[in-house]
Structure 1
Amino acid sequence: MLRLFLTAARRAPALPGGAPLQCHRRHASAAVDVAALTAYRAHTLEPLLAAKLQQLGQMEALKRQCDAEAATYPRLWKLAVLGFLSLQVVVLFDWTYIHFDWNLTEPITYLLGYSFTWLSLLWYGNLQQEFGYGRVHELLQQRQCARLYRRRGVDLVLYEQLRAETDVLQRRLRSLEYLPGK
């Protein structure tokens, strides 16, 4: 664990004032200057982690809000499709039994019925995934999320980078947790 920290400390920024971390050699083993590490923890790592956590918290709140809004979007689409299909049934009923005859509306019903099959084939040809309600739901939600992220300025690359940086900083702080003078 100490070797891991020393490797990470070489890549870490210097102490306030530009002083590098001091390592003393004793009997072929490295002893770390505890005061320098304590100062590094208190003056560099903790404020840096607090700033990054604050920025990450703001981004997560905005991202959660976008995700919640995008979760309702596929349901609205499904209701619109249900309304369209209901209207289609009403129109076909009217044409079949009131205005026209089944002989005229039968080809139209076949055309409408097979359109789903053709749309499914086109879907599979383009996306290489089965056409189903679950997949359509996911796709609609992902597209709406991407739209909302763009509108509200959520940078997913920066978000993932901040998460990775805070994880590294938290691991470094945990490795320095039991130093005296905390």
Structure 2
Amino acid sequence: MKYDIEKNLRTLSAMVEALKPYLYEEALFGYLGDNMPKMTIGGLLLRLHQLDGLQAALDKKLQSQLLETHQTFDQLRYEWRTHYEKKLLQELKSRAETSLRYLQDAADAMGDWGNQIEKRTMIADLINEANSQNIQVPAELKGLISEVDTYLRRYFKAGEFYWDERLANTYPKESYWWLYGQPNQPD
């Protein structure tokens, strides 16, 4: 899977620009425009994590754009903390519940492996963000994520890094094991 740095930086910038109105809206998935992914905190954090990991590969202009986007995000996250926390936990719960339901059907889970591991990576980024921002994740939600991992492991066969190899250093195998392999055939 080829990773397009400039496209993801444009998407990240659009997400940060849309963050303030998104945080006080009720909808979990915001609209960014045609040919753009849905606006979510998980999607924003995923791109931020990836681009931070590839910072050395960015030219000065792109590094500057990433820094500016980071600063704007940090400011909005601080100013809208209560709304941000609520939306983050809402998305974390939604992604965990949706992933679990989907993974319970082995055929669907294996046919859509790339999407499932992207969702699990967003869950990890949301958990990491909650921890770094001192946002309390309820125990039942942690249990739900554990259940998602149980299902993922059931279909998992260890192997090579699944995404663009340039992202491998951004996602250590110990913490992001699901990115290092492919689906195994179910029994």
TM-score category of the 2 structures, normalised to the smaller one: under 0.3
> Which is greater in Rg?
1
Per residue, is there more helix in 1 or in 2? 1
Larger RCO, structure (CA 8 Å, separation 6 or more): 1
Query: TM-score, normalization: structure 1?
Result: 0.24
Q: What's the TM-score, normalizing by structure 2? A: 0.23
